[in-house]
Chains A and B, each alone.
Chain A
């Protein structure tokens, strides 16, 4: 063999399909007569579908009307969105008193503000932010939504929640402006940057305690009127149930999964039994059991309202699915990771919390989000035990006298709402995956 090429081969431009959309179209859609034909037929079908939906939903649709009759007078073939529009408040808030709707909105805004720092890269102490949402927000929101007199415990938790929220906001601001955590900013303001850890800690606790006392004193004069849970409904109720379901089924699922893998036989058998039993029955059965059978086993006078029963059922049911997802994630972690962690002296909890879970949870994200989406959609089943969640509300439109028989439009509207919520969750999970895969970079 001799020299094959003496000079460096010149670079040639890439084929058209790689660079221009036209080239891509030619290669992928119009490469032969047969494929061109197929493409045209498909385009025609797509056109028929979309134009039909567009004509029904927009061109021929009625948006302003007082009753269904008027929709028909306007157009026989179009959708009657007027009914949905008239019921919008009901769809979103159920029968929550119209003067008190701001409370539901406030709860939502608080949650968004509270969680916002989690998405900001400059803000520090994200773990604390996440923990404070889970620990304090439910009490604050719970009080805002239900109202009435506060027990001492509620007063305590509400004050804690307000304090946590304020600190969270200050921490967000100091993160955005000064790029430090609020604690560091505080030390800087008071000139204690160089002070020992102990002085700093005392200062921080002192400030927190003083703020807590002030807030406690102020909040004790705040009350809002009581709104019974029976008035909750619509999308609001769906989000409350699924929100609590999501927030508690994952931690509970992790506990169950660890229990199922435990070396202690009693813990293992109990966890396995619990998972298998709840996983083997349909959610509807669990809901019925919770509302009809469960009270029979309870002592006289013990009473849980239907909402709480529904929420507990949803949480327990989904925790079992979460547990199996978590277990699968744990099994994907090689044994060497456990050993590596043991050899630097980490015990069981250290190994799980610092080494195994962070890796495993990352693998589980697609499944967890899939399960969360499923949970959100499954909560519509609570309409069966008599809660007026969004599906219940959408279906009652057709029983309202002016809109009698209006089935299609509310359900289409509901489908669109669910799609928006679920699709954005799935999009977010994709984003989360790519963000967390930093460790797999090569």
Chain B
């Protein structure tokens, strides 16, 4: 697939370390200005946590990164490819960027194993036996290999979310995006999902996580970003962010949720 990428849109090789580069990006929903002049650079292996009140644009920001939402102004460059109208590029980026949703979005008509092998077989053109092997390997890693032949509806929320993570990993993505992965889960299930994510972080995966789990943020984040009303208000190392928040709005937010 990579030969088909339009070379004129490849940014110079020097930036290959940079997985994601966002320049002066703006987005509107109708008249509503959701994201305002966002600048963000993520290097390979970096782990960002984005937090902020609801409606601040955190989800929209990461959904723009794999083009589930279109942005109107500015540039987003992912894995050296500029996001735009070119559909070939879009499909390429989506295979390189994995995403985990709040509502899991597993395919209810397929078994867990089929959910995991669908992408590798149809997009990566893997042989079925290889795809199954990889899928079982990842299911092992998220500790639910014994559920491989069940349907998503038969699993608990925590298990479904772990399947969703494994499904993304099966595509061997370069970047993983998490959109409030634990918000729809019972407290006792949150831990099992976070454990899997911490393990994933330890393997050196580039991750952007939108979450309200501050304990988790402290453990894995290289930097924490606080967003409010479409602006990136503050970004800092986790110790500084939680220990000594600089901006007044960050302080307010942290007071409310901690």
Interface of A with B (CB < 8 Å)? Answer: 336-337, 339-347, 350, 354-355, 358-359, 362, 438-442
Q: Tell me the smallest distance from the CB of A353 to a CB of chain B, in Å.
A: 9
| In the complex, residue of chain B having the shortest beta-carbon distance to the beta carbon of A442 | B153
Contacts A339-B105, A344-B171, A345-B95; is A354 near B118 (CB within 8 Å)?
A: yes
| In the complex, residue of chain A having the shortest beta-carbon distance to the beta carbon of B122 | A350
- Which B residues are CB-close (under 8 A) to A359? 107-109
Question: A-B pairs with CB below 8 Å: how many?
Answer: 76
Partner of A340, one of B91, B106, B123: B106
CA A339 – CA B100 in complex, angstroms?
Answer: 10
- Which A residues are CB-close (under 8 A) to B105? 336-337, 339-340, 343
* Contact residues of B between 51 and 91, Cβ < 8 Å to A: 66, 68, 87, 91
B109–A343 CB distance below 8 A: no
Type the 1/0 row for B115-159, where 1 means its CB is closer than 8 Å to any CB of A.
Answer: 000110011100000000000000000000000000101100000
B98 near A: Cβ within 8 Å? yes
- Which B residues are CB-close (under 8 A) to A342? 66, 68, 94
CA A344 – CA B96 in complex, angstroms?
Answer: 9
Q: Tell me the smallest distance from the CB of A135 to a CB of chain B, in Å.
A: 23
Contacts A340-B106, A341-B107, A439-B108; is A346 near B151 (CB within 8 Å)?
A: no
Partner of B153, one of A343, A345, A440: A440
CA A355 – CA B106 in complex, angstroms?
Answer: 10
Contacts A344-B168, A346-B119; is A440 near B108 (CB within 8 Å)?
A: yes
Question: What are 16 A-B interface contacts by the 8 Å CB criterion?
Answer: A336-B101, A340-B101, A340-B104, A343-B168, A344-B118, A344-B123, A344-B170, A346-B118, A347-B91, A354-B118, A355-B107, A355-B118, A359-B109, A439-B109, A441-B154, A442-B153
Contacts A339-B101, A354-B122, A439-B108; is A344 near B167 (CB within 8 Å)?
A: yes
Partner of B109, one of A336, A345, A347, A362: A362
B151–A345 CB distance below 8 A: no
- Which B residues are CB-close (under 8 A) to A339? 68, 99, 101, 105
- Which B residues are CB-close (under 8 A) to A346? 118-119, 122-123
Q: Tell me the smallest distance from the CB of A349 to a CB of chain B, in Å.
A: 10
| In the complex, residue of chain A having the shortest beta-carbon distance to the beta carbon of B120 | A344
A343–B94 CB distance below 8 A: yes
| In the complex, residue of chain A having the shortest beta-carbon distance to the beta carbon of B170 | A344
